[in-house]
Amino acid sequence: MITGILTFLIIFAVIGSILYGQRLIKTEKSDAVFGNPERAKGGVHWVIVGSSFLLLSWLYYSWDIAKAFYPKSANELCQVAKVNESLLSLKYLFPIEERQHKSTALIKRENINIQNKILIIQNSPDLKAQDKELFVNLLNKTKRTIPLLTDERLLETETKIKIKDLTTRISWLTEDFQKVSYPPIKSIEEENKRIEALKKQLGWGATGMEVPPLPESKRGLKFHTAAEELNKISDEFFALRNHNPEYLRLLEEIRTEIKSYKDGLEDSQELEMTFIKEIKKLGQRIEYESVFPPKALDEMEKSN
């Protein structure tokens, strides 16, 4: 309230000082100022204008004006930021801001890494021929796991159903978000709990954050609820793996060979241990990534 009144007073002071300055220019001769100390005195109105602009800039960039006239605006922007943050993971996967899918970039990168590792192993003078043969064979098998993840014929029905379910939820959320009634009140108990938490929420800067995090308006609650749902969808999707039986069979074969080789190593064979660990890590990176057939996620991409 005080900041709002102060803002209006500053604006009036600026307008009044400018009008006064213009009137003063018309009634007095400016060519007699230089060399006349008496005529050079004054100009307080221009000092007021400059100081007022500095004060207004400070009030603007410190959010004080926003807090005075739109006390809930920053909180609403905070809820919008939650939605943007919840979309980061999906933006990472789909080419929303990139030219290609992240899975495509991953495949290219890992194929290059595997080929480079093969060249390093083949050119290593400290490795035995049989070790080189084993390592190269393991790397080629690891390379063969990638097409098994991108083959649409191998995509399991259960995985397809899960992708379709997540896509439907995104589409429903998009439709519901545009409705005035969104978000619906789940239960009186949950609504009372939300109101009580809101009452306990501290003011600006008191929580350790610039803006209090809980939504304080109907509009803010709308974005907050949408962000929560998007986070759930994102978490469920990134927990999903396209590990079809053919891929798992080859992966288990690679793991068994790696374990058998490691068990036969002696403590002095540090170089061999280093190489076998790096080969294992290459396979794990592919295993943990979300790699799907090219057209499997088309509908989900369109729903974003």
Report which DSSP code applies to 170: H
**89 found inside a domain:** yes
**79 found inside a domain:** no
CA pair distance 66, 70, nearest whole angstrom? 5
The domain tally of the chain equals 2
Q: What is the pTM of this model?
A: 0.67
Domain check: are 178 and 274 in the same one?
Answer: yes
**Amino acid identity at 122:** Q
pLDDT in tens, 61-81: 666 666 666 666 777 777 888
Residue 2 burial class via C-beta count within 10 angstroms: exposed 0-12, middle 13-18, buried 19 and up: exposed
Domain hosting residue 56, numbered range? 2-69
Domain check: are 14 and 89 in the same one?
Answer: no
Domain check: are 269 and 142 in the same one?
Answer: yes
pLDDT in tens, 139-176: 999 999 999 998 999 999 999 999 999 999 989 998 99
Domain check: are 180 and 110 in the same one?
Answer: yes
- Average pLDDT score over the chain: 81
Domain check: are 102 and 238 in the same one?
Answer: yes
Domain check: are 114 and 184 in the same one?
Answer: yes
High-pLDDT (> 90) share of the chain, %: 32
**76 found inside a domain:** no
**191 found inside a domain:** yes
CA pair distance 154, 12, nearest whole angstrom? 73
Mean per-residue pLDDT, 46-56 = 78
**75 found inside a domain:** no
Report which DSSP code applies to 71: T
